[in-house]
């Protein structure tokens, strides 16, 4: 598979694709973008302009050119001459299958095609492709230009060479790729998020706590630790000098008893309304755009603090 990546095609230039485009450009890689929406070029332009100062603060390449991108409505034409494809079309299997087949037909077989899908299976996405072995999942987290994690999945059809090429590319541009070794819906991180949210919804439904307090239980507690280390290492520290081995022997019975009591909420219309109202109360009615701005500003400071501490 091609490993010398000098130009990237960003196919699907909504919020995720435009964020990818800004990030690739900040790493000195020209971008060819494509999207059927007439407003896509303006969205890309605004994303690049808004994100560029932060991207330069967070390791952008000296001399990177924010204007080094082109746009074509035809995805096959946009892919011409590109060494890597990042597809970020809407999360619908039929749309992605058709799009990936068109891209696959337009490219040499040694160019990796990575899909940003948050939950679809790689083996399903590539069903209409002549070269399914080069189709992998490269799932970022929102916003892709800030969050380091990228989940890479080859699935039942993706070749080890394609997976390795994608991992190497993402790593080379400053991302933190992890390989998901078995196809499952939702990949890895989204399943972890879904499991936590299920219990969060259950606790609200059972009247254990308000939406605001459930959120605070994470953001003001373990969420702060999770920005530094994952659940296994967190519990390793919880075991004191004996580490995870001590934790297993002395605290695991309590934890497994909690597992037995975890809920499976029925998210009916009444509960949906309660959750929506609870979020509105917890956020003081702030708009999603304002919340996103606050989140991104805090993310930048957090990423810089993590980099400073190694």
Instruction: State pLDDT tens for residues 8-21.
Output: 999 999 999 999 99
Separation CA 286–CA 301 (nearest Å): 21
pLDDT at 182 over 90: yes
Which whole number is the average pLDDT over 135-154?
97
Q: Given a cut of 80, is residue 61 above it in pLDDT? A: yes
**If pLDDT is split at 50, 70 and 90, which confidence band does 166 have?**
very high
| Token duo for residue 15 | 């919020």
Question: Torsions phi, psi of 138, nearest 5?
Answer: -125, 80
Whether the pLDDT of residue 168 is over 90: the answer is yes
Q: How many Cβ atoms are within 10 Å of 290's Cβ, its own excluded?
A: 12
- Picking from 102-116, 118-132, 238-252, which range would have the lowest pLDDT averaged per residue? 238-252
Q: Mean pLDDT, to the nearest integer, of 268-275?
A: 96
Q: Which residues make Cβ contacts (< 8 Å) with residue 100, sequence separation at least 6?
A: 87, 113, 115, 125, 126, 128, 129, 135
Which pLDDT score, from 0 to 100, does residue 309 have? 84
The mean per-residue pLDDT over the stretch 127-140 comes to 97
What is the C-alpha separation between 223 and 239, in angstroms, rounded?
A: 19
Give the whole-angstrom CA distance, residue 299 versus residue 259: 31
Domain annotation for the chain: domains and CATH numbers: 8-180 (3.40.50.720), 189-309 (1.10.1040.10)
How far is 175 from 173, CA to CA, in rounded Å? 6
- Angle at which helix 231-238 crosses helix 243-250, to 10 degrees, equals 80
Considering all CA atoms of the chain, what is the largest pairwise distance in Å, rounded to the nearest integer?
Answer: 61
Q: Is residue 175 scored above 90 in pLDDT?
A: yes
Residue 32 CA from chain centroid, whole number: 21
> Phi, psi at residue 206, to the nearest 5°?
-85, 0
Q: Kindly state the average pLDDT of the residues 215-227.
A: 95
CB 75 within 8 A of CB 105: no
| DSSP H or E stretch at residue 16 | helix 15-26
Q: Measured between alpha carbons, how far apart are the two ends of the chain, in Å? A: 32
pLDDT exceeds 80 at position 123:
yes
**pLDDT tens sequence across 237-264:** 999 999 999 999 988 999 999 999 999 9
Three-state SS at 118: coil
Q: Tokens 């096959």 identify what position?
A: 76
Residue 280 has pLDDT above 80, yes or no: yes
- CA pair distance 259, 66, nearest whole angstrom: 49
Q: H or E stretch including 49?
A: helix 40-57
pLDDT for the residue numbered 211: 97
Cα(140)–Cα(130) distance, integer angstroms: 25
Residue 310 pLDDT > 90, yes or no? no
Q: How confident is the model at residue 121 (pLDDT cuts 50, 70, 90)?
A: very high
Mean pLDDT of 133-162: 97
């Amino acid at each position: 598979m091609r490993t010398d990546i000098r130009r990237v095609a960003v196919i699907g230039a909504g919020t995720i694709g435009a964020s990818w485009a800004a990030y690739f450009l900040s790493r000195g890689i020209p971008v060819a973008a494509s999207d059927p929406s007439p407003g896509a070029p303006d969205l890309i332009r605004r994303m690049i302009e808004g994100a560029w100062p932060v991207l330069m603060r967070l390791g952008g390449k000296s001399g990177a050119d924010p204007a080094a991108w082109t746009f074509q409505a035809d995805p096959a034409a946009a892919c011409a001459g590109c060494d890597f494809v990042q597809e970020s079309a809407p999360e619908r299997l039929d749309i992605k299958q058709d799009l990936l087949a068109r891209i696959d037909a337009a490219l040499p077989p040694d160019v990796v095609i990575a899909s940003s899908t948050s939950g679809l299976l790689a083996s399903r996405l590539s069903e209409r492709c002549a070269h399914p072995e080069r189709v992998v999942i490269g799932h970022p987290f929102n916003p892709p230009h800030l969050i380091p994690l990228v989940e890479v999945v080859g699935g039942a059809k993706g070749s080890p060479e394609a997976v390795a090429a994608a991992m190497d590319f993402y790593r080379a541009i400053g991302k933190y790729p992890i390989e998901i070794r078995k196809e499952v819906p939702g990949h890895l991180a989204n399943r972890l998020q879904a499991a936590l949210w299920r219990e969060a919804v259950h606790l609200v439904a059972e009247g254990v706590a308000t939406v605001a307090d459930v959120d605070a239980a994470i953001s003001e507690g373990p969420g702060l630790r999770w920005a530094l280390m994952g659940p296994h290492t967190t519990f390793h520290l919880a075991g004191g000098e004996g580490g995870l081995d001590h934790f297993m022997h002395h605290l695991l019975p309590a934890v497994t008893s909690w597992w037995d009591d975890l809920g499976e909420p029925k998210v009916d219309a009444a509960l949906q309304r309660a959750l929506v109202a609870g979020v509105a109360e917890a956020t003081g009615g702030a708009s999603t755009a304002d919340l996103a701005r606050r989140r991104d500003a805090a993310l930048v400071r957090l990423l810089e603090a993590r980099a400073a501490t190694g």
